[in-house]
Amino acid sequence: MMMMKRVLLAAAGAGLLALACSSSGGGGSSSGASGSSSGASGSSGASSSSGGSSGGSSGGAVSLDGACDSFAQLLCFRLGQCAPATTRGTLGDATKCQARLKPRCLTDNAAPGIALSAQDVKNCADGFLGVSCDDLLLGNFPAACRKPGTLAAAAPCGADAQCASTACNGVGGDGCGTCSARAAEGGECGDVQCAYGLDCVQGRCKKPGKTGETCDENLAPCLPTLLCNGGKCIAATAGNQPCDPDNDTCDPLAGLFCDGDQNICLPSAFAKVGEACGDVNGTPTLCETGSPCPDGTCLATAADGAACNPDRDLLCAPPAQCEGGMCVFPNATKCK
């Protein structure tokens, strides 16, 4: 089965790319996650960096609702460009992705400590069009998205933008954590996010390698859009290009796999709830929108606020997480 890279929307979350709810920013692992569509990716985390004032906009020209519309639309658009398969497998198509990220943007912007205005949120959204896929997937967002909040260290938080440190760390299943500093290169990470542009690998913040640089899948990562192959960071193989089934370098973010019959990179398929998933007639078939595939059929996710049980494959729809047996949608205003 094809291996799919995890997207941090920190997310999210985005999300992303695995989409367990997390705060945004650097520190998401770029190591492969199972091709199972139930994997989490960082895209949701991306939404938590969208914070902005719940008050008006600069000059009254931009409303928060409109700014969050732009945020969700442009972030989902860029995630769809940079990691289409991972995004579809966690947040769904563009419409579903936007429907999940906009509420997160709105609640984050109503949380205490936010220093961004609605115009800042709109500027952040517009900035997504200018960042590279590697920066986007690492959570190294435009400067307009990273304006520090006013909450001091150790203050409860649910969004990075609430904190003067620009990091809400130790976020649990309830979506809440505490403000603290980001870890520098070589520092411990996991509960603590890495500084922007770094990747959290095996519990340490690492600077991802560029094309041709030395790498190790477990210790020295490559940039999210690259693959570690033979100890070197290489570009992933594009669709319909020749490949070796025994050394599959087809682009995992695009959902490509090396077809053993034709020896070319082909796209995996996606299935909706109730449809067959896994290896379907020789094609890796993933479930959409975070649905699990325990026995060859995509199962429905639980609704926000409904009962969940990961041990029984009753999962929450990202960026919601199962906390205390209930699906909890992140809401920074409740972190106190």
pLDDT, one tens digit for every residue, the chain (336 residues): 333 332 222 222 332 322 223 333 334 433 333 333 332 233 333 333 333 333 333 445 899 999 999 999 999 999 999 999 999 999 999 999 999 999 999 999 999 999 999 999 999 999 999 999 999 999 999 999 999 999 999 999 999 999 999 999 999 999 999 999 999 999 999 999 999 999 999 999 999 999 999 999 888 999 999 999 999 999 999 999 999 999 999 999 999 999 999 999 999 999 999 999 999 999 999 999 999 999 999 999 999 999 999 999 999 999 999 999 999 999 999 999
The answer to whether residue 29 is domain-embedded is yes
The answer to whether residue 45 is domain-embedded is yes
Q: How much is the pLDDT for 44?
A: 31
Concatenating the DSSP letter of every residue in 35-99 gives: S-TT---THHHHHTT----SS--GGG-S-HHHHHHHHHHHHHHHHHHHSHHHHHHHT-SHHHHHH
* Total structural domains within the chain: 1
Q: How much is the pLDDT for 218?
A: 81
Q: How much is the pLDDT for 61?
A: 83
With tokens 């003067």, the residue in question is 164
The answer to whether residue 33 is domain-embedded is yes
Q: How much is the pLDDT for 51?
A: 38
Q: How much is the pLDDT for 38?
A: 30
Question: Within 13 Å, how many C-alpha atoms sit on residue 153's CB side?
Answer: 4
> Per-residue b/e over 112-146, b at no fewer than 16 CB within 10 Å?
bbbbbbbbbbbbbbebbeebebbbbbbbbbbebbb
Give yes or no for a contact between 183 and 189, defined as CB atoms under 8 angstroms apart.
yes
Pairing of the two strands 177-179 and 156-157: antiparallel
The answer to whether residue 257 is domain-embedded is no
The answer to whether residue 51 is domain-embedded is yes
Distances (CA, A) of 179 to 11, 216, 335: 17, 32, 11
Q: How much is the pLDDT for 193?
A: 96
The answer to whether residue 232 is domain-embedded is no
Within 10 Å of residue 36's Cβ, how many Cβ atoms?
18
* Structural domain boundaries enclosing 133: 3-179
Q: How much is the pLDDT for 30?
A: 37
Q: How much is the pLDDT for 26?
A: 39
Question: Within 13 Å, how many C-alpha atoms sit on residue 119's CB side?
Answer: 6
The answer to whether residue 289 is domain-embedded is no
The answer to whether residue 20 is domain-embedded is yes
Q: How much is the pLDDT for 60?
A: 55
Largest CA distance in the chain: 61
> Per-residue b/e over 294-306, b at no fewer than 16 CB within 10 Å?
eeebbbebbeeee
d(CA 82, CA 7): 10
Q: How much is the pLDDT for 217?
A: 80
SS3 135: helix
